[in-house]
């Protein structure tokens, strides 16, 4: 509890960032191993996410989800249905997310938007005129971290493992607030 209060005090004293980028599955909601979130009943918001988003909302100009969703490319889900799932997830997490940017392509489609390529981030930059050097990404895989690091975005890695692409690492979503201590 003492660490949480310290993190909240530090957050209140911090400067404003430009953009908070978030991966979706494994960051906001539980990742379905060897499967996909194909319906709103599949959404399971991860512990601490609602509180985290409510606390950091005012520190960022915008919060943007950048997510690979090859289930669309595989024909398992339509873009309309995916947008409904994303809207529901946003509502369940407090309606703090400004935009969901999605890569619906398969690995072999050779698109520019599928992470670890940086197309989703660049698209966000075109829409919002983002200062990447004053932005933060939270991801749970190195494919989330790689394009962020290449663009100069600070990274927070949710994992039990170290990564050379991570500026900070936390073991779970419950520890996201503490990751902002000394990030810049």
d(CA 112, CA 122): 10
The per-residue pLDDT for 79 is 97
Among all residues, which ones are annotated catalytic?
A: 23, 25
- Binding-site residues from annotation for Mg(2+): 23, 25, 140
What are the extents of the domains in the chain?
2-179
CA–CA dist 124, 53 (Å, integer): 19
Q: Which residue, 80, 74, 64, 93, is CA-closest to 36? A: 74
The 10s digit of each residue's pLDDT in 146-157 is: 999 999 999 999
Instruction: Flag whether pLDDT at 89 surpasses 70.
Output: yes
Mean pLDDT value across residues 26-31: 97
Query: Which residues carry a binding-site annotation?
Result: 23, 25, 103, 105, 111, 113, 140
d(CA 107, CA 73): 9
Instruction: Give the separation between CA 142 and CA 150, rounded to whole angstroms.
Output: 12
- Residue set of the binding site for Zn(2+): 103, 105, 111, 113
Predicted model pTM: 0.91
Q: Which CATH superfamily is domain 2-179 in?
A: HAD superfamily/HAD-like (3.40.50.1000)
CA distance 16 to 1: 25
Residue 58 contacts by C-beta under 8 Å, 6 or more apart in sequence?
16
pLDDT tens sequence across 37-69? 999 999 999 999 999 999 999 999 999 999 999
């Amino acid at each position: 509890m003492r660490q949480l209060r310290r993190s909240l005090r530090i957050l209140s004293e911090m400067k404003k960032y430009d953009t908070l980028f978030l991966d979706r599955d494994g960051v906001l909601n539980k990742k379905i191993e060897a499967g996909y979130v194909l319906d709103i009943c599949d959404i399971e918001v991860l512990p601490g996410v609602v509180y985290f988003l409510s606390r950091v909302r005012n520190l960022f100009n915008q919060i943007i989800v950048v997510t690979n969703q090859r289930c669309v490319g595989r024909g398992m889900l339509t873009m309309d249905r995916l947008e409904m799932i994303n809207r529901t997830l946003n509502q369940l997490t407090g309606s703090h997310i400004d935009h969901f940017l999605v890569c619906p392509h398969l690995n072999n489609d050779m698109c520019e938007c599928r992470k670890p390529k940086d197309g989703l981030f660049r698209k966000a930059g075109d829409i919002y005129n983002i200062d990447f050097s004053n932005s933060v990404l939270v991801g749970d895989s190195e494919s989330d971290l790689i394009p962020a690091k290449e663009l100069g975005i600070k990274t927070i890695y949710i994992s039990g493992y170290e990564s050379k692409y991570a500026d900070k690492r936390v073991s779970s979503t419950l520890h996201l607030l503490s990751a902002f201590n000394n990030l810049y």
